Structure 1
Amino acid sequence: MGVPLCMQHQKWIRNHEATPQAIELYFLLKQNGVPAELEKHDGHKSVDIVIEEAKVHIEVDGVHHNYDNRQALADLKRTFHAFRQGYITLRIPNSLIHWNAEETADYITEFLELNLKRQPKKGFTGIFQQLFGK
């Protein structure tokens, strides 16, 4: 993680199967006030990061997602399944987290804010204000 961690947080990280890049992005999103959940199961698969209120899944992918055609097709099927359930899937390459983690988190936060504005629902305004203070 790049910083010393207390025993409680070391145990927390060991209990998750998320990659270091997914964990880093998760914490950066949390710093931005995003109500993110790490490694949430959607009934079909485990998703790296989920933002339920915005109906967004975030998958943090290694290079094999681009070079292995079977993996790419499996990813497309997972994205399709999530879309049928009303979710948008953002696929973030590990390299973005490695080289531009904070900027990536800021763009994702802005993406989420825009997506929430496009999904007016009963009580939505209060949820948006609560989540993002706007």
Structure 2
Amino acid sequence: MSANGSSTSTSLWIINKAGGLIYQSFATNEDAPKLSANEALILAGTLHGIHAITARINPTALPDTGLTNLSAGGYELNLLVTPTGIKFILLHPPSLTPQAAQLALRAAYEAYADLVMKNPFYTAEMPIRGIGAFDEKIKSITSV
């Protein structure tokens, strides 16, 4: 996914409408910092809150037009909000262009719609587990 073969990590998070982390995938090298499950949950909730606040800063803006990208500490964050309120967040090295990040997020959303939401054993808004085809697709999207 990285344009220059950067060794930093790329991760994809899916956050439900309530701000709960329902999926996370990491394509990481050995040197990249690892997040605990609690840290990931806290960050997901924080990002959900930041998006909600930024969506209301400009009262004339379209609904759900809050935070869409962020650059800090050698990482870029891109966010895609679906019409149903599910948030897809891609944390990636700055070498990945914003256009490529948005394409990756759209591919993840398509995989979610095709492989998760059409699964009769999945309950909407709940953690995504045990859907191997989805995991493999996300790995191919986030691979560096």
TM over 0.5: no
More helix per residue: 1 or 2?
Answer: 1
Higher relative contact order (CA 8 A, sep 6+): 2
TM-score between the two structures when normalised by the length of structure 2: 0.25
